[in-house]
Structure 1
Amino acid sequence: MLDASLLLVALMAALALRPWQLLRNRKALVTQDHGDSSPLWTPLLATVVVLPWLWALPTLHQMPLQLQWSGACLVMMCLGWPLAVPALCVVGATACVLSPGLGAEEALRLTVWHGIVPATFAMLWGALLRRWLGTKVFVYIFGRGFVGTVLSLFAAGMLSAALGHELPGVNEDLSTIARWLMAWGDAVVTGMMCAVFVAYKPEWLATWSDDLYLYGKNG
């Protein structure tokens, strides 16, 4: 019931922010040319196509350690929190369909504790960094993409453990270390992808702004 309640609250809050507005071309809003689609369609489609397989992978094969990939922080940085929440809900539902070994209850747990909760923590961490350290490229890539992912996933994992959610095949004494190492693995990929996107595809990052981070324009 707690997992379902958290998912429902997060989904209602995200939908109240009208995330579909993010899928409108941001340049078109200025030029009034609505012929082109938003660049955020690319990371959104990549999320709902690729991430369900990564979530379902541990249950598709007999693995001694079913360590779960998250990717939620990268999704949040690409799509923004309002759009990331419904996207992660779609990912969880699709992963449940793809894997016969992933039941509805487990898919719900994955969606909340590997998706929505770390994405929410990453969003809050990003807001704190902007307030404390300002808008700098290094702060965005390292502070949000790398450090923020480590802290968000580890905090979500420890909160999940405190509520009685165990890691399959992992001794209880080693679960904290396992969650810490999984968070670092996610963080390396997230930080690397953020650096690549900032350099070559900044339009794929809803949380990035050239005016804000490169030119310091707050208006």
Structure 2
Amino acid sequence: MLFLESCILLVALGLSMLMRPWRMLAGPLAAPWAASLVLLSLLWVLPQALPAGISIQLSGACLLVLMFGWPLAVIELVLVALAVWMLGRLGFAAVLSQLVWVGLVPATLALGLGELLRRRLPSHPFIYVLGRGFIGTALCIFVAGAAYEVIHHLLDGVELEHALVARWLMAWGDAFLTGMLVAVFVAFVPEWLATWSDRRYLGPPPE
């Protein structure tokens, strides 16, 4: 499994680097990108400080895709994983698994879902906030978590049904956080959302 996760990381990082997304940091995204890097690193390290038996893991990957686009989100997720590796107690294999299934896979699913919604549904702020920020996040986090459970735990004798229920419930934590922040950003700081366009979702300005 380490080989598969390493391949996913290398492919995602290679594709993102080819697009040179750091050029976007010359604009208004620089400050929120730096702030999100620090905050997300703390959120990813937090589960290691919780008592044994308590597992609460927020992803933030879908929010990063909405704010900075997939390439820049991938680079940030890799940096977050490096911070978790240096600051936390987990080994390389555990951090790599966290990066892939909590970060890269949900981010890639969010990219695909966003493209699907743009092609199939009307360009409306409600579709963007609810479809991509709220429900879309829940689905992406759940699908990534379900894939992790199937690959990592089904062969270990863990009851898949219970694991999927837990994954579904935990996905809504990310969904509420992402949906709320996206709604706030759309209303007050739309320049913090690289995937948002006033012309697309609100229509051209009046003459």
Fold match by TM threshold 0.5 = yes
Say which structure is richer in helix. 2
Which of 70, 81, 92 is the aligned partner of 1:104?
A: 92
Per-residue deviation, 1:63: 3.4
Once residues 58 and 20 of structure 1 are traced to their aligned partners in structure 2, the CA distance between those partners, rounded to angstroms, is 29
Q: Of the candidates 83, 91, 99, which is equivalent to residue 80 of structure 2?
A: 91
**Aligned ranges for residues 148-163 of structure 1 at < 5 Å?**
148-163=136-151
Paired amino acid for 1:67: I
- Cα RMSD after superposing both structures: 1.6
1:66-90 CA distance string (max 9 Å, x none):
1211111011111110100010000
Q: Measure the CA separation in 2 of the matches of 1:171 and 1:128.
A: 33
User: Is residue 18 of structure 1 aligned with residue 20 of structure 2?
Assistant: yes
Q: 1:81 aligns with which of 70, 86, 93?
A: 70
TM-score, normalised by the number of residues in structure 1: 0.87
CA contact (8 A) 2:150 2:160 kept: no
Distance 1:46 1:63, change over 3 A: farther
Question: 121-130 or 46-55, which moves further after superposition?
Answer: 46-55
Equivalent residue, structure 2, for 1:58: 47
- Structure 1: any 5+ residue segments left out of the alignment? 25-37
SS in 2 for 1:68: coil
Cα distance in 1 for partners of 2:23, 2:35 equals: 19
**Runs of 4+ off more than 6 Å:** none
1:173 Cα deviation after fit: 4.3
Give the counterpart of 1:43 among 21, 27, 32. Answer: 32
Structure 1: distance between partners of 2:160 and 2:46 = 22
State the partner residue of 1:195. Answer: 183
CA drift of 1:165 comes to: 4.8
Aligned equivalents of 1:131 and 1:71: distance in 2?
Answer: 24
Give the TM-score normalised by structure 2.
Answer: 0.91
The Cα shift of 1:216 comes to 5.4
What is the distance in 1 between the residues matched to 2:138 and 2:34? Answer: 25
* Deviation by residue 1:67-124 (Cα, 9 ceiling, x = unmatched): 2111110111111101000100000110111112x22111111111100110110011
User: What letter matches 1:123 in structure 2?
Assistant: L
Conserved? CA contact 2:149–2:160, under 8 Å? no
**Could you tell me how far 1:62 is from its partner in structure 2?**
2.3
Deviations along 1:16-44, one digit per CA (max 9) or x if unpaired, are 111112223xxxxxxxxxxxxx1111221
Give the aligned partner of residue 28 of structure 1: none
On the 8 A contact 2:45/2:88 being kept in 1, the answer is yes
The amino acid of 1:50's aligned partner reads L
Aligned length: 200
Report % sequence identity. 47
